[in-house]
Amino acid sequence: MILLPVALALIIFGGLPLLATLSILSAIAMTELYKSFSLKITVLNIFSYISLAVYYFFIDKMVEGFFLAFLILYLMINLSIMVILHKKVTPYECIINIFSFVYAVILMSTVYFVRQHSIYMLWVIVISAWGSDTFAYFVGKFIGKHKLIPDLSPNKTVEGSLGGVVGAMAVGFLFTIILDYPDVLYFVIACGVGAVFGQIGDLAASAIKRHNKIKDYGNLIPGHGGIMDRFDSLLFTAPIIYVFVEVLL
């Protein structure tokens, strides 16, 4: 329960506390991905941890050309390390290293970008990610009959999935009334879109676990697994809401 007031405080105040939290979550999530692929810590991984620190330190400059330059440099240095250490570092390790950085760091960081744009849109991320999960669970439990993608997640149902999207939109609607948010339709649609992508994020993380034959990414959070297990939906919801905000606002 202590996580709830902490999350609320981060949403309200944003800034450095939110940034520090996201950087820590990104580092842990990236480590969990490395372990899920059975990667040993190499120069490549150490470079990614350094890149993570640099990225978050200069995150307010990560716009347009600077962001692209950072990604290009990150990719080129990864490939250069692979060439120099070709007897110790394989192309597979290089690819997984780059993938883990983009997945755990770049996608996670969009939470900060959304908060910088609008505190209301950050609430969309919360509602879409965890509100949808809650509704999907209960709807699926009580009326779920048709399996969604049993090979990836045997407990998820079509009814639960639809319930999660509708539930997120309903909570979004109530949110606009309580806080007197003017653009009701925009907010509700954003919650629906975020919920859809949040469920895809959940299934994407499950697909990796199935492929790597692991039950959970970690045991950091008792009963919930690791950071990747708890934030898998958010890692898709936050980026799509960021795109939503950039394109439509």
Residue range 181-205, pLDDT digits in tens: 889 999 999 999 999 999 999 999 9
- Cα torsion 18, 20, 23, 24 to 10°: value is -110
Q: What is the reported pTM?
A: 0.92
Q: Which residue has the higher pLDDT, 9 or 145?
A: 145
pLDDT value at residue 59: 93
**Letter string b/e over residues 13-40, b meaning 16 or more CB atoms within 10 A of that residue's CB:** ebeeebbebbbebbbbbbbbbbbbbebe
- Indicate the average pLDDT of the chain: 91
Sign, CA torsion 222/225/227/233: negative
| Structural domain boundaries in the chain | 1-117, 118-249
Count CB atoms within 10 A of the CB of residue 181: 16
Whether the per-residue pLDDT at 104 is higher than 90: the answer is: yes
Q: Which two tokens stand for residue 18?
A: 């939110």
Residue range 121-156, pLDDT digits in tens: 999 999 999 889 999 999 999 998 899 999 999 999
